Amino acid sequence: MGAEEKINMRKAFKVVILLGIVSLFADVTYEGARGITGPFLYLLGASATIVGFVGGLGELVGYGFRLISGYISDKTRKYWLMTTFGYLVNLIAIPLLAFAGNWWIASALIIAERFGKAIRTPARDTIISYASSNIGYGKGFALHEFIDQIGAIIGPLIVSGVIYFSKSYSNAFLLLGIPAFLSILTLLITIGIYPKPEKLEKEKEKVSDSGFGKVFYLFLLFTGLTVS
């Protein structure tokens, strides 16, 4: 391995770890909030039907809009811009729930949070793929996901503690503004260090264009059935 390859590998690891920390703080925020949004809507007067509808619509928006945001990201190649905008919408919506005076405002914020995730996920994953080309795609995404899931565990624990001691949903949502701020701050630091993530991509080797094999389509079928 040459000196340049070692430098690129170190840069790649830093980007993946930094984005993992961004996701960690973000997961503390929205995974912490997701467990209490249903009871919160009910407390504001929403029926069980409305709570279920809002949750389902949020997931539809969160996944459906990725088709559009992914296309825009590839077309414009403004990966950091899309990632930043998505995280801002995604994370600001959660603390604002503390000020929601009725269920329809809270519902709009819950759906907005999912919309923000739909905007930033394809662009962020593209950046991770650029960095992972130097260290291995499986290793890069696994490292990012590992750090990410730490936040997914911490968030609900924090919210449980806040509600137990303060008996207030609003206090929990407000407190989640702290990791939301730290997530955005870490993201901006990462952008400042690596403003052009496409330069991290390792030069691609030529591969034969022989189409996809049977295993690929079996994998697609399995994935579609298990996540549906």
Angle at CA 122, nearest 5°, toward 195 and 51? 130
Higher pLDDT among residues 32 and 219, named by residue: 32
Quote the domain boundaries for residue 82.
3-201
Say how far apart CA 25 and CA 151 lie, in whole Å: 6
Interval 113-134 mean pLDDT: 93
Number of domains comprising the chain: 1
Confidence (pTM): 0.86
Q: Is residue 206 part of a domain?
A: no
Say how many CA atoms lie within 13 Å of 169 toward its Cβ: 20
Say how far apart CA 200 and CA 186 lie, in whole Å: 19
Residue 20: burial class (beta carbons within 10 Å; 0-12, 13-18, 19+)? buried
Q: Is residue 27 part of a domain?
A: yes
- pLDDT-derived band at 152, boundaries 50, 70, 90: very high
Q: Is residue 227 part of a domain?
A: no
Backbone angles phi, psi at 83, to 5 degrees: -65, -45
- pLDDT-derived band at 223, boundaries 50, 70, 90: confident
User: The CATH number of the domain where 138 resides is what?
Assistant: 1.20.1250.20
Q: Is residue 207 part of a domain?
A: no
pLDDT in tens, 10-49: 888 999 999 999 999 999 999 999 999 999 999 999 999 9
DSSP letter (8 states) at residue 205: P
> Residue 136, by phi and psi: left (phi above 0), alpha (psi -120 to 50) or beta?
left
Q: Is residue 176 part of a domain?
A: yes
Q: Which of 41-55, 90-104, 140-154, 212-226 has the lowest mean pLDDT?
A: 212-226
- Could you tell me where the DSSP H helices lie in the chain? 3-43, 48-64, 66-76, 79-96, 103-132, 137-166, 169-175, 177-193, 214-227
Predicted local distance difference test score (pLDDT) of residue 9: 82
Higher pLDDT among residues 138 and 202, named by residue: 138
Q: Is residue 119 part of a domain?
A: yes
Over pLDDT 90: what percentage of the chain? 75
pLDDT in tens, 156-203: 999 999 999 999 999 999 999 999 999 999 999 999 999 888 877 766
